[in-house]
């Protein structure tokens, strides 16, 4: 029947029954395949990347992956940067690498333990850790027990080639204790009063700062101050209160810098391009030389020139300069990207949790690692004064590596503890274990095997 002669009622009934066919352009073409959304590949790739970025386990994998990659790359660079220094001291070329590798193994065990510990156990350990750390920091100042390294009295001799710097553990102790303190006060709704926000957090932090400054370690004191400000900011300190604490700390820092010719000399070397009189800016200038000579992809592993006695501390404070010389701009940008990923993941964990202790602890750990990385890299680039702090997880030093890896384990535990992450991890675990399968096989009759 021609379409013109079709009765109107039949057309309406056919449309209601779904018998009227849509045009080929709407169906997606004559081939029957669905048409692709407008916008093409780039939009779909961006959408997939956004969905992957918002997955529950993104922070978990970022923390674990970036921390392990930084540590492994740090081991490689410690071996490369320390060979000449070890030979100068009549030691085997792998001497510093072996010590760092041992510290990394112990730190890995600590990270795994911290990642498996519940938040309640971390809170229970905070007070004993703070007391032990303060006790060790007091022992450092006792003659005959404490050791002086590069003019800083911040070490305890443990026997053989092993030394301990208690101030590195003071950062972790302040974070755990401060997070527990602020969480308990938030539960009691006491943080709206300035005295409860400051006391006893600020006095205890100033006690640790005083013990550190007695040893002359300005760099560690700066990191500890950054942790204190991070905790206060997370607790919601008002601007005038935050500014008051910052003003007091800034005044003390200015006095300490002006009363020390060594610190004034370091401040004068910011942006220096010449060693200056008496070579006071020698280390800063040769760090720039190392970075500048690396080019895009570096001179190759082990081919650094500055580590042959030109650059002091090539495997500790200035290991980033050797990385730039041997791996080039590509290597340094990779290190920066890994630290950026770790910092983002820590902020994400702190921002998405509903547990106040987790928020304060994750924020404190992130502040510690990011601030220390910025200060170290800024000093190597000539943008900040040389503070004498190592690059976290990267520079040589077991006393710095152990608490930092434990702190990374904290972040991993907090990322795993998120309800969505727990559900995602539970779905990925196999429902039937090998032991249960073997038991089932043993229970079957012999004829069914």
Which residue, among 313, 329, 134, has the nearest Cα to 214 in the 3D structure? 134
Contact 259, 253 (CB under 8 A): no
SS3 label, residue 222? helix
146-149 and 152-159: which strand pairing?
antiparallel
Instruction: Indicate the DSSP class of residue 23.
Output: P
CA–CA dist 10, 86 (Å, integer):
95
Query: What per-residue confidence (pLDDT) applies to 445?
Result: 52
Query: What per-residue confidence (pLDDT) applies to 185?
Result: 95
Please list the rounded mean pLDDT of every run of 10 residues in the chain (449 residues).
45 42 44 48 79 83 96 97 94 95 97 95 95 95 83 79 89 97 94 88 93 88 94 89 79 80 82 83 92 93 91 93 96 97 95 94 97 96 92 95 97 89 75 53 51
Which residue, among 407, 381, 384, 439, has the nearest Cα to 110 in the 3D structure? 407
Query: What per-residue confidence (pLDDT) applies to 449?
Result: 46
Query: What per-residue confidence (pLDDT) applies to 93?
Result: 94
Query: What per-residue confidence (pLDDT) applies to 40?
Result: 54
Rounded to 10°, the helix 166-187/356-380 angle is 140
Which residue, among 165, 175, 96, has the nearest Cα to 408 in the 3D structure? 175
Total-model pTM: 0.84
Cα dist from 155 to 142, 145, 158, 162, 216, whole Å = 11, 9, 9, 10, 12
CA–CA dist 137, 114 (Å, integer):
23
Contact 399, 100 (CB under 8 A): no
Contact 182, 199 (CB under 8 A): no
Query: What per-residue confidence (pLDDT) applies to 443?
Result: 56
Residue given tokens 């206060």 in the structure block = 232
CA–CA dist 327, 335 (Å, integer):
11
Query: What per-residue confidence (pLDDT) applies to 303?
Result: 93
Query: What per-residue confidence (pLDDT) applies to 29?
Result: 43
CA–CA dist 37, 23 (Å, integer):
18
∠ Cα 342 332 98 (to 5°)? 80
354's CB contacts (< 8 A; 6+ apart) are none
Contact 272, 284 (CB under 8 A): yes
Give the count of beta carbons closer than 10 Å to the beta carbon of residue 156: 18
């Amino acid at each position: 029947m021609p379409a013109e002669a079709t009765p109107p009622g039949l057309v309406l009934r056919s449309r209601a029954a779904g018998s009227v066919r849509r045009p080929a352009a709407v169906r997606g073409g004559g081939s029957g395949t669905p048409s692709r959304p407008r916008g093409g590949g780039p939009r779909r790739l961006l959408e997939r990347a956004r969905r992957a970025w918002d997955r529950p386990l993104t922070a978990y994998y970022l923390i674990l992956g970036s921390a392990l990659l930084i540590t492994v790359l740090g081991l490689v660079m410690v071996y490369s940067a320390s060979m000449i220094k070890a030979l100068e001291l009549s030691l085997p070329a792998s001497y510093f690498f072996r010590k760092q590798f041992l510290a990394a193994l112990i730190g890995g065990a600590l990270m795994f333990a911290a990642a498996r510990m519940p938040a309640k156990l971390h809170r229970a350990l905070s007070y004993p850790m703070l007391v032990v750390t303060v006790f060790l920091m007091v022992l450092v100042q006792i003659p005959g027990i404490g050791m002086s390294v590069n003019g800083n009295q911040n070490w305890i001799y443990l026997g053989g080639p092993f030394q301990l710097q208690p101030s590195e553990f003071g950062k972790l102790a302040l974070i755990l204790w401060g997070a527990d303190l602020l969480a308990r006060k938030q539960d009691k709704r006491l943080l709206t009063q300035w005295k409860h926000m400051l006391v006893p957090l600020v006095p205890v932090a100033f006690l640790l700062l005083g013990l550190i400054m007695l040893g002359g370690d300005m760099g560690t004191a700066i990191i500890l101050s950054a942790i204190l400000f991070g905790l206060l900011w997370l607790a919601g300190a008002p601007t005038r209160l935050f500014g008051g604490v910052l003003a007091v700390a800034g005044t003390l820092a200015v006095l300490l810098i002006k009363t020390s010719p060594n610190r004034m000399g370091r401040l004068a070397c910011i942006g220096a391009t010449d060693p200056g009189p008496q070579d006071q800016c020698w280390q800063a200038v040769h760090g720039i030389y190392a970075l500048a000579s690396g080019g895009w992809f570096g001179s190759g592993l082990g081919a650094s020139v500055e580590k042959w006695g030109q650059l002091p501390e090539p495997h500790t404070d200035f290991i980033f300069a050797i990385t730039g010389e041997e791996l080039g701009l590509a290597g340094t940008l990779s290190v920066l990207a890994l630290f950026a990923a770790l910092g983002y993941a820590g902020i994400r964990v702190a921002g998405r949790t509903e547990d106040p202790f987790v928020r304060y602890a994750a924020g404190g750990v992130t502040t510690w690692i990011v601030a220390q990385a910025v200060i170290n890299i800024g000093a190597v680039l000539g943008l900040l004064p040389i503070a004498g702090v190592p690059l976290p997880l990267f520079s040589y030093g077991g006393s710095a590596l152990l608490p930092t890896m434990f702190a990374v384990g904290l972040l991993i535990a907090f990322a795993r503890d998120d309800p969505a992450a727990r559900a995602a991890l539970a779905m990925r675990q196999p429902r039937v274990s090998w032991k249960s399968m073997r038991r089932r096989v043993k229970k079957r009759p012999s004829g069914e095997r």
